[in-house]
Amino acid sequence: MSEHERMLIRVGKLLDELARPHRYEEALPVDVQASLWQLGFPCNDLTTREELIPRLWARKRSLLSGGGPGWGGPGLTPPSAA
């Protein structure tokens, strides 16, 4: 598994954790905060899930769009339909 794939999995797991039902005033769990810091998302007890979720989705989209090697096709260009 590549580093890119591992990062995609980590971001997905964090999104799952942040999107779970929670009390409005519930602070982020310490392990979630630590994981967010490791991924470059500084946060503290006052950081809301509503702030973090769009930022994590943006990271996940960028990882998905810049993903691994795509299918390059058979190496032949089909003729144009006339």
Residue 71 forms part of a structural domain: no
Residue 48 forms part of a structural domain: yes
Torsion angle in degrees (nearest 10) through CA of 7, 8, 10, 14: 140
Residue 28 forms part of a structural domain: yes
Structure tokens at 53: 């979720």
User: What's the pLDDT score for residue 58?
Assistant: 93
66: nearest Cα among 19, 14, 11, 13: 11
Q: What is the 3-state secondary structure (H, E, C) of 1-21?
A: CCHHHHHHHHHHHHHHHHHCC
59: nearest Cα among 35, 27, 81, 28: 35
44: nearest Cα among 55, 56, 34, 57: 34
Residue 72 forms part of a structural domain: no
Q: Which portions of the chain are predicted below pLDDT 70?
A: 67-82
